[in-house]
Amino acid sequence: MKILITGGAGFIGSALIRHLIAETEHAVVNIDSLTYAANLGALEDASQSPRYIFERADVRDRHALANALAVHQPDGIIHLAAESHVDRSIACPDEFITTNIVGTFELLEAARAYYERLEYPRRNVFRFLNVSTDEVYGSLRDQGLFTENSAYAPNSPYAASKASADHLVRAWHRTYGLPVVISHSSNNYGPWQFPEKLIPRTAINALHGKPITLYGRGNNVRDWLYVEDHARALVRVFEHGKTGERYNIGAHEEWTNLNLVRRVCGMLDELAPAPGIGARERLIEFVPDRKGHDHRYAINATKTQNELAWRPNETLESGLRRTLRWMLDNPAWIDAHVAHDEQNAPASNLRRPQGE
């Protein structure tokens, strides 16, 4: 099959493409506008394959999307293109509305027109996978898990924009018959993640002896999923998920932000001891809490595990070790981000609160 992937130069998208090229026979058309968080370096090996094609285009540009569909004739779409950082959505929600909501609408319309022109048997094969987040479900108390039947209750502009996209996708299925599937994952981490997120930002600051800032008292709980495990799950959902269904993807790895940051610090003390810095846990500082900060996310992935025969390969401990070793083995990647931060905001970027 040939799969058109939007946002394929992003963190999750690039992991998915690397997996598809290395472990499957699928061909890939990567559509990405190359915003600040995109990184074609993460696709250097995949780009050598004759089964990989890159098209620079914005998901909000229906003409460009329609042209890509007409030229490349994919057998399905996996939609990952999105603005994804909660802090940025609170500070400046405009891009989240236009990319995550309007962009999804434009893609759905391009996909619908393309799908309606397909002839059998290709029409029977085509599907549209919308990659969403557990944040659309809102916040949990200390007990309970999100299931596919959990009510939507988004609390941040980011979560609301993703929930809106999900509702559009569902409506295009019910109204127009577009064959869709929706997935919801817990917090991802792993190599190549843009360092505005909790784990890479913590690691970079810890390696440089910079303050590691946490919202509130660091008691917010997140469920962590290694990005390569997520990529494998997405392939299973795309290939075998039931049309019109939703699938939760998570690894049952709940950690408070504070305990996670402490583990990152401790692991770096072991892997890259720095006598001049000392125990990196001492770098942790607390700052006023984020607006509308959700208390806890936790995914019940039983449906995905049982129906699609998927299980995560990595625990947080093993995945975190793989991630930090990758960072230590790629100092140029770290240095580039530190230089970018220092050039654009010398005093604030490295001290900003850690967004998960």
Residues 257, 198: contact at Cβ < 8 Å?
yes
DSSP state of 349: G
- Of the residues 58, 87, 134, 253, only one is catalytic, namely 134
pLDDT one digit per residue (tens) for the chain, 356 residues: 999 999 999 999 999 999 999 999 999 999 999 999 999 999 999 999 999 999 999 999 999 999 999 999 999 999 999 999 999 999 999 999 999 999 999 999 999 999 999 999 999 999 999 999 999 999 999 999 999 999 999 999 999 999 999 999 999 999 999 999 999 999 999 999 999 999 999 999 999 999 999 999 999 999 999 999 999 999 999 999 999 999 999 999 999 999 999 999 999 999 999 999 999 999 999 999 999 999 999 999 999 999 999 999 999 999 999 999 999 999 999 988 887 666 655 444 444 555 56
Q: Which domain holds residue 171?
A: 2-186+227-252+299-313
Does the pTM of the predicted model rise above 0.85? yes
| Residue 79 half-sphere exposure toward CB, CA atoms < 13 A | 33
Tell the residue number behind the tokens 């360092």, with chain if given. 195
Could you tell me if residue 126 is inside a domain?
A: yes
CATH code, 139? 3.40.50.720
Q: Tell me whether residue 142 is one of the annotated catalytic residues.
A: no
Number of domains in the chain: 1
Does the active-site annotation cover 289? no
**Are 15 and 41 within 8 A, CB to CB?**
no
Catalytic residue among 32, 58, 87, 135: 135
By residue count, the chain amounts to 356
d(CA 331, CA 110): 41
Residue 346 has a pLDDT of 42
Residue 33: inside a domain? yes
Number of H helices, E strands in the chain: 13, 12
User: Is there a domain that residue 112 lies in?
Assistant: yes
Q: Is 134 a catalytic residue?
A: yes
What string of DSSP letters covers 134-172?
GGGG----SS--B-TTPPP---SHHHHHHHHHHHHHHHH
